[in-house]
Amino acid sequence: MKKIVILFSLIVSFSFAQPTVTVQDPTDVSSTSAKLKAKVNLPNGWTTFQGNVKVYIHLTNKSTNSTTEAYTKTYTSGNFGGEYSFSKTVTDLSKGTNYEYYATATEANWGTVYSTSETKAFTTPTDTLKVPSAYSTIQAGLNAATSGDVVLVSAGTYTENIIWPNVNGIKLMSAGDSSNTIIDGGGTSSVIYMNPSSATIDTTTLIQGFKITNGGNVAFGAGIFVKNSSPKFNKVKIANNSASEYGGGLYFESTASVIRNTSIDNNKASYGAGGIYMTKTLSNGKSPSSMIISNTIIKLNSGPTGGGLNVYQMSSLTLLSVEFIENDGGNTGGGMKSQDTKLIISDSKFVKNESGSGGGWHGYELKESIFTNCIFNGNSADNGGAIDCLSGNVKFINTRFINNEADTSGVRGMGGAIYHSSSTITIDSSIISSNQSKTGGGIYTGISGSSVISNSIISKNIAYELGAGIFFAPQGNVPNPITLTNVTISNNSAPDGNG
């Protein structure tokens, strides 16, 4: 009885010994090819009755999530009882792309899977095209580049007006930085013009480490013009460009671009948006645009509407740690103007900007917007020293309005910090202090405006006529609605109405 049990155990053990496969690290990896390597172990006693063994290598492009069988081979009974290496050199790979591969061993006729290996990953490198050692101009390097390539530019000044090729994923990078690698437009056109006729350009396209300057003699986007494209900008300085209409520094239309760690200063436009102008598409039917700007300084720009930035009819704009400093908005929006756009702004500063309405920010026809952890300091305007909101809903959370001023001696002068009408403003956990104006030293709430204020301080504001802390423009005999919860109103000063 004991011998029978042992013999049965041996038969079971033998019958379940199956082929196994493993994969090894690839070799000879280039931008377009790689050698994929694997091994198969065929146990002793495997017979043709159990079936010949076919092995596969499966290659997956992680960008497209598509898998192909890159290699197939069949082992017969003459191979049983050994371990065999097999490999395949695959071509037509994409540059700068992540791949994975694994192997399987199957029954040759019926496809029963005996073994599946672990997965190995690799990334194909990109080509680096060097300017000026290999290509005399940046334009020549870009024209020679394909998707995923890096065009690496040595420090120096390059007088060019670049037209971006119809290729996605090119990375234009300085070997230095924006202090020593300069693209000068010569005052004749946009420094960089990007409006592809066929390619879809997304944020895998990068421009990094340049000073973009002296663009001019164009209506839109003297420094950089971007339409129907969504590149990424990093560590760029855009300075001293001038457009005859909109977007002295940058012009964006139909975009989901990203700007990071950038300086935009001393740019001008004759109609609006000296620094940046951005808008939805006008004619090609694409969805309204959205953008993200972070860790960026926008200063000393000028234009009649939106000195630093003007955004019009985009789905959303997100600003993270952006500083608007000493911009001149002429008529509206010294630091920034927005219309029919959702704003998500946090940890940002508006300092010493000026305009006719909304020294720091002018908002009109707002989609619901929010400012969090922001500072408005030292801005000035005829109305709304810090902000001027004419319609829509906006929230300010943990935001400080300090030392802003609306015309204290002229015929306007409404809202030292805040002027709003036909809008609802919600203020929470904020400080409105040391602002001044002719009427409404802290806040001026105009016709059809309402305010919801909680957990905040309104103090040390000055009005030279009426309403030092808060002024409400009457609607007949009914004042505009206001809700105050846990609000301290103190030490404000006016000839009539210190609260």
pLDDT digits (tens), the chain, 499 positions: 344 333 333 333 344 578 899 999 999 999 889 999 999 998 876 655 566 889 999 999 998 999 998 778 888 877 777 889 999 999 999 888 999 999 999 988 888 899 999 999 999 998 999 999 999 999 999 999 998 899 999 999 999 999 999 999 999 999 999 999 999 999 999 999 999 999 999 999 999 999 999 999 999 999 999 999 999 999 999 999 999 999 999 999 999 999 999 999 999 999 989 999 999 854 444 555 789 999 999 999 999 999 999 999 998 999 999 999 999 999 999 999 999 999 999 999 999 999 999 999 999 988 889 999 999 999 999 999 999 999 889 999 999 999 999 986 666 789 999 999 888 999 999 999 999 999 999 999 888 888 999 999 999 999 998 889 998 876 666 556 789 999 999 999 988 655 5
Q: Hey, how many other C-beta atoms are within 10 angstroms of the C-beta on 474?
A: 9
Closest to 405 in 3D by CA, of 430, 384, 431? 384
- CB-based contact 440:462 (threshold 8 Å): no
Q: How far apart are CA 102 and CA 107, in angstroms?
A: 17
Closest to 70 in 3D by CA, of 118, 37, 24, 94? 37
* Assigned token pair, 444: 């001026």
Residues 6+ away with beta carbon under 8 Å from 64: none
Closest to 139 in 3D by CA, of 155, 162, 122, 119? 162
Rounded to 5 degrees, φ, ψ at 294 are: -140, 150
E strands, 108-231, where?
A: 113-116, 120-123, 128-131, 150-153, 156-159, 162-163, 171-174, 181-184, 192-194, 206-208, 211-213, 224-227
Q: How far apart are CA 109 and CA 104, in angstroms?
A: 14
Q: How far apart are CA 388 and CA 488, in angstroms?
A: 23
- CB-based contact 451:445 (threshold 8 Å): yes
Strands 34-42 and 156-159 turn out to be unpaired
* Assigned token pair, 222: 């003297």
- Give percent helix, percent strand, percent coil of the chain, each to the nearest 5: 5, 50, 45
What pLDDT is attached to residue 107? 86
E strands, 219-325, where?
A: 224-227, 232-234, 237-239, 242-243, 250-253, 258-260, 263-265, 268-269, 276-279, 290-299, 309-312, 316-325
Give the ranges where 47-118 is alpha helix by DSSP (H).
none
What pLDDT is attached to residue 449? 83
pTM of the model: 0.82
Closest to 443 in 3D by CA, of 208, 423, 37, 303? 423
Q: How far apart are CA 142 and CA 176, in angstroms?
A: 18
* Assigned token pair, 167: 């290729």
Q: Which helix (H) or strand (E) holds 5?
A: helix 2-15
Q: How far apart are CA 209 and CA 261, in angstroms?
A: 10
For residue 19, whether the previous peptide bond is cis, meaning omega lies within 30 degrees of 0, is no
The strands making up 309-312's β-sheet, listed across from edge to edge, are 162-163, 192-194, 224-227, 250-253, 276-279, 309-312, 336-339, 361-364, 387-389, 418-420, 443-445, 470-472
Q: Which residues pair with 443 in a beta bridge?
A: 418, 470
Residue 182, helix vs strand vs coil = strand
Q: How far apart are CA 399 and CA 425, in angstroms?
A: 13
Q: How far apart are CA 115 and CA 279, in angstroms?
A: 55
